[in-house]
Chains A and B, each alone.
Chain A
């Protein structure tokens, strides 16, 4: 299989879902071009609302649409989807127990040339503290399509952290993905790399190869759902490998590393290292530069494993 643009998969899946269910509607805040959803608008003009550069209003309108039984998908860049509309999403959508699907694109360093203002290293943390919210970040086109569909049919709010660019499918065989169930991409016995999102699952897999060359057998888990976290899988691999490294394109605070640390501390204390952005703001640059700048590379993961085994 060849690489697919994640945004294209997102848009095509939404169109397919909207054909199956007339209640699905789409809201954008002047980023329809970025999300690749113009096809949706062409197919369902009356069910598409591009509200202009007014993200707060977009979430409020979506909440109202949901109150009448619609299933609104809303999109903006992840920085705005989280920081800018946090209270609207919290109160009008989640606290009101409505059914608003929020999609934040360009996670972490994939904001690239948009730079620090647009570089969300906090969105997962903000979303994770909203009670009952489903928070997920698929790492390939196949899992994206399936998890997006599951989130659409499941009543309640969700947050999809969407990588927009082309990604190779990483799952060789037909596979079922379920929200809240992590996927073991590679089994191992010495250490477990738990990663989320395209960028860090890529780096974790590369790190596992580097570690194998050094005689270290690393398991790699694609933890596509941050909430509800697959606690059982975390504990199983904590027991099996006795050492864990979390890998996220996000602050180490309140994201995947924190979630895993909480589980381990409470249920099975296990040596842990967290790969992620360490309490600094984002900045502008090409993605490979940013990967090194924020110490998110496979080599950084290998170094973390060596620290654990020292």
Chain B
């Protein structure tokens, strides 16, 4: 990655982060923590790694994303709006009656959303099914699937992990948003994932672990993942609520009230950081 590309991605990630904070602040409440921990990953995917066409959201040759932790929808919507899948003004309709941007992802409502998610644990199975379907049809698309750390407590995640390795799917790349927090507290206190990398390796996956906010590390892992012989998991060590001073690293940030003023203050702080 050239310094110019890195600078572009860094600026883009900041923009996506601000759009996400603004959308949730405009509504006044939202899943801000798990949305902001994914900003760098979504930025790299949509601005560097995935083949998508905003003019043809269902383009058969595209790469797919299943956001299995569907509550992070607002971060994805910010990316999709910025890419031109739909007008940016839609971001202010988040969770309003009749909106096309519901809190949890819905493939029937939002251009660019590939799978309906929100009932945790189900997205990786769907992503595997998409990968198998594309393989059967001879289509080139890769399938990215983002799962949560709390979500990894669901048994169906491990059913899908077993099956993806069994079917030797080499177009499936999962990203684990390991932000260490879930609704009721720290993951290690609620239900510890222990050595999560070893678990995935034991299920037959290639595993990389990176700082999920470090664009260069993450880019390197995503690049390696594309040439793997089987399914790949990238563990993203992240900070829940990253970049919103009032939420960062706080267990309450899973779904919290965010006043418009607080959101604007957070955005100003990000701008000041930029200038500093």
Binding site for B on A (CB under 8 A): 25, 46-47, 49, 51-52, 54, 56-57, 59-70, 72, 87-88, 91-92, 95-97
Seed contacts A51-B163, A64-B133, A68-B139; 17 additional CB < 8 Å A-B pairs: A46-B136, A49-B167, A56-B155, A57-B163, A60-B128, A61-B129, A62-B129, A63-B126, A66-B133, A67-B115, A67-B130, A67-B133, A69-B137, A70-B136, A72-B129, A88-B125, A96-B107
Provide a sorted-by-A list of 7 A–B residue pairs whose CB atoms are within 8 angstroms. A25-B136, A60-B160, A61-B160, A67-B114, A67-B129, A69-B133, A70-B136
Question: Are B116 and A57 neighbours in the complex by a CB distance under 8 Å?
Answer: no
Residue in chain A with minimal CB distance to B105: A96
- B residues 109-133 near A (Cβ < 8 Å) are 114-116, 118-119, 121-133
Chain A residues whose C-beta falls within 8 Å of the C-beta of B163 in the assembled complex: 51-52, 54, 57, 61
Q: Which 9 A-B pairs have the closest CB atoms?
A: A64-B129, A60-B125, A68-B133, A96-B116, A57-B159, A61-B129, A64-B126, A64-B130, A54-B159
Interchain CA distance A62-B122 in the complex, whole Å: 11
Question: Are A56 and B159 neighbours in the complex by a CB distance under 8 Å?
Answer: yes
Interchain CA distance A56-B122 in the complex, whole Å: 8
Name the one of B121, B128, B137 contacting A61, with C-beta atoms under 8 angstroms: B128
B45 at the interface (CB under 8 A from A): no
> Smallest Cβ distance from B56 to chain A, in angstroms?
15
Interchain CA distance A96-B160 in the complex, whole Å: 19
Chain A residues whose C-beta falls within 8 Å of the C-beta of B221 in the assembled complex: none
Question: Are A68 and B122 neighbours in the complex by a CB distance under 8 Å?
Answer: no
Interface of A is mostly: helix
B162 at the interface (CB under 8 A from A): yes
Chain B residues whose C-beta falls within 8 Å of the C-beta of A72 in the assembled complex: 129
Residue in chain A with minimal CB distance to B68: A60
Q: Which of B107, B114, B129, B156 has the most CB of A within 10 A?
A: B129
Name the one of A25, A52, A60 contacting B124, with C-beta atoms under 8 angstroms: A60
Interchain CA distance A57-B114 in the complex, whole Å: 18
Q: A54-B162, A88-B156 are in contact. Are A49 and B132 (CB under 8 A)?
A: yes
Q: A46-B136, A67-B114, A96-B107 are in contact. Are A57 and B125 (CB under 8 A)?
A: yes
Interchain CA distance A59-B122 in the complex, whole Å: 9
A interface footprint on B134-174 (CB within 8 Å = 1, 0 otherwise): 10110100000000000000011001101100010000000
Chain A residues whose C-beta falls within 8 Å of the C-beta of B115 in the assembled complex: 63-64, 67, 96
Chain B residues whose C-beta falls within 8 Å of the C-beta of A92 in the assembled complex: 116, 119, 122, 125-126
Residue in chain A with minimal CB distance to B107: A96
Q: A51-B163, A57-B159 are in contact. Are A91 and B130 (CB under 8 A)?
A: no
Chain A residues whose C-beta falls within 8 Å of the C-beta of B130 in the assembled complex: 64-65, 67-68
B255 at the interface (CB under 8 A from A): no
Q: A67-B115, A68-B139, A96-B107 are in contact. Are A88 and B122 (CB under 8 A)?
A: yes
Residue in chain A with minimal CB distance to B139: A68
Binding site for A on B (CB under 8 A): 66, 106-108, 114-116, 118-119, 121-134, 136-137, 139, 155-156, 159-160, 162-163, 167
Interchain CA distance A57-B162 in the complex, whole Å: 10
> Smallest Cβ distance from A152 to chain B, in angstroms?
17
Residue in chain B with minimal CB distance to A54: B159
Name the one of A25, A68, A91 contacting B116, with C-beta atoms under 8 angstroms: A91
Interchain CA distance A51-B163 in the complex, whole Å: 7
> Smallest Cβ distance from A28 to chain B, in angstroms?
13
Name the one of B116, B131, B132, B167 contacting A95, with C-beta atoms under 8 angstroms: B116
Q: Which of A56, A68, A72 has the most CB of B within 10 A?
A: A68
Q: A59-B125, A63-B125, A63-B126 are in contact. Are A91 and B156 (CB under 8 A)?
A: no
Question: Are A64 and B159 neighbours in the complex by a CB distance under 8 Å?
Answer: no
> Smallest Cβ distance from A133 to chain B, in angstroms?
16
Chain A residues whose C-beta falls within 8 Å of the C-beta of B139 in the assembled complex: 68
> Smallest Cβ distance from A101 to chain B, in angstroms?
14
Chain B residues whose C-beta falls within 8 Å of the C-beta of A49 in the assembled complex: 132, 167
Interchain CA distance A64-B118 in the complex, whole Å: 15
> Smallest Cβ distance from B130 to chain A, in angstroms?
4
Residue in chain A with minimal CB distance to B130: A64
Interchain CA distance A67-B133 in the complex, whole Å: 8
> Smallest Cβ distance from B47 to chain A, in angstroms?
24
Q: A65-B133, A67-B133, A68-B133 are in contact. Are A91 and B122 (CB under 8 A)?
A: yes
Chain B residues whose C-beta falls within 8 Å of the C-beta of A51 in the assembled complex: 159, 163
> Smallest Cβ distance from A87 to chain B, in angstroms?
6
Chain A residues whose C-beta falls within 8 Å of the C-beta of B124 in the assembled complex: 60
Chain A residues whose C-beta falls within 8 Å of the C-beta of B162 in the assembled complex: 52, 54
Chain B residues whose C-beta falls within 8 Å of the C-beta of A46 in the assembled complex: 136
Question: Are B108 and A47 neighbours in the complex by a CB distance under 8 Å?
Answer: no
